[in-house]
Amino acid sequence: NSDLILHVNFVLVNMESKQRYIVKDILGHGTFGQVAKCLVSETNSFVAVKIIKNEPAYYQQALVEVSMLHMLNQKFDPDDKHHIVRILDYFVHQRHLCIAFEMLGSNLYELIKMNNYKGLSLNIVQMFSKQILHALIVMKDAGIIHCDLKPENILLSTRVKPPEIKVIDFGSACMEGRTIYSYIQSRYYRSPEVLLGYPYTTAIDMWSFGCIVAELFLGLPLFPGASEYDLLKRMIEILGGQPPDDLLRDAKNTSKFFKHVGSIYRLEDDEAHNGVTSAYRVLTEEEYEARESKRPKIGKRYFNFVKLEDIIANYPYRKNLPEEEIDKENLTRLALVDFLRGLVEFDPGKRWSPLQASHHPFVTGEPFTCPYKPPVETPRIPVIHTVTVDHNPGGGHWL
């Protein structure tokens, strides 16, 4: 096992600054290591320390996480207003790269679970959507693609009321224009262009964001694909239509899923797709499956309706919804569907940008009267930002 063996009162030390972190609890295990709740005695406060496995691939990837967060925190969000986790420190302890973050609370998947998978009120969904969009706006400006946006990677902040959330886990993030990996994003939140093997941009995070918004409302994932083929089939059923022809023509994996009949692309039949599995960079297939199976197994179709519009409109009302609020609820649901349509849009070129989405009535709370037409966005010449990190931090030595 390449995880550091921890126990209560185990002390992690940054050898350079002499800062000590006293382990008090384990907050989570991930593929990349463990996250511990640690006490900083001087300030009597807690921080979350991600302790990376002592293997070179994980170490290198974690340095990417450090550099991306440094850039986002310092250059793009110095006043901590954009709902992105703060990085506090990083160092090497016994060949394990350790990253200290501000201490946060439950993740949104746990919140959904605590609510018995019944979904959250539209008020809360609206509030969280707005906050996640704040993070996505900054990430797009920085040219950073998160690549693993999902409820598990959005955490509640424990300090403030009304509830605040923060985006975490930049361990899979990459720079736009430097997209080297093709197997990215957790399956339920994977965009059509990644699935099909087409060049991708920050728009893939907007797809995941749409899936998350729907899941917050429904309490269940919108596209719980058991395989990549199953995922694609669900998208096509629920959304109607399919990815645009030029995407299908140019994507690397189209023939894995589609038959080309004359000039028409048709999704292959079920029979051709028993046991399609998907991979994930740095994870082995076993690790990947173990991770995905952390969620409860759900049957093939569990909504009573197929089309997105019907699923949302006919979803049971919350028990405590007052009679007089039903009209407003129905109208907000229409706004939600219109919002989702701009996000879970097959064509990455037509999918709304975070800024465009942030002006939608569902987010702003303005009355929803007609389908939203986003303001035209002038394409910006991408600036590649770079931040250098010390590859041998905290006085430690790696190999």
Which of 148, 205, 245, 347 is an active site residue? Answer: 148
Judged by CB under 5 A, the stretch of 116-124, 168-176, 236-244, 350-358 that binds Mg ion is: 168-176
Which residue, chain included where needed, has tokens 């509640």? 156
Q: Specify the 3-state DSSP secondary structure of 259.
A: strand
Among 34, 54, 153, 254, binds Mg ion (CB under 5 A): 153
Span near ligand ATP by CB under 6 A; candidates 1-9, 99-107, 297-305, 367-375: 99-107
77 tagged catalytic: no
Contact between residue 120 and residue 108 where contact means Cβ atoms under 8 Å apart: no
Q: How far is the CB of 283 from Mg ion (least distance, A)?
A: 10
Nearer to ligand ATP, 109 or 258 (CB): 109
Six-digit token pair at 360?
A: 């939608």
Single out the segment in contact with ligand ATP by CB under 6 A; choices: 24-32, 125-133, 307-315, 346-354: 24-32
Has 50 been labeled as part of a binding site? Answer: yes
- Which residues are bridge partners to 11 per DSSP? 22
Q: Which residues contact 217 (CB under 8 A, 6 or more apart)?
A: 119, 120, 122, 125, 312, 315, 336
Other beta carbons within 10 Å of 49: 27
User: Please, which residue, 153 or 208, has the CB nearer to Mg ion?
Assistant: 153
Residues 6 or more apart whose Cβ sits within 8 Å of residue 126: 332, 362, 363, 365
153 binds ligand ATP (CB under 6 A): yes
Q: What is the DSSP letter of 26?
A: E
Between vectors from CA 190 to CA 272 and to CA 35, what angle results, nearest 5°?
A: 125
143 is a site residue for Mg ion (CB under 5 A): no
Return the one option of ligand ATP, Mg ion, none that residue 50 interacts with (CB less than 5 to 8 A, by type): ligand ATP
Nearest distance from residue 99's CB to Mg ion, in Å? 12
Amino acid code (one letter) for 158:
T
Three-state SS for 97?
A: strand
Q: What residues from 3 to 62 belong to the interface with Mg ion (CB under 5 A)? A: none
| Interface residue list for Mg ion (CB under 5 A) | 153, 169, 171
Q: Which residues are catalytic?
A: 148
Annotated binding site: 50
| Interface residue list for ligand ATP (CB under 6 A) | 27-28, 30-32, 35, 48, 50, 85, 101-104, 107, 148, 152-153, 155, 168-169, 171, 291
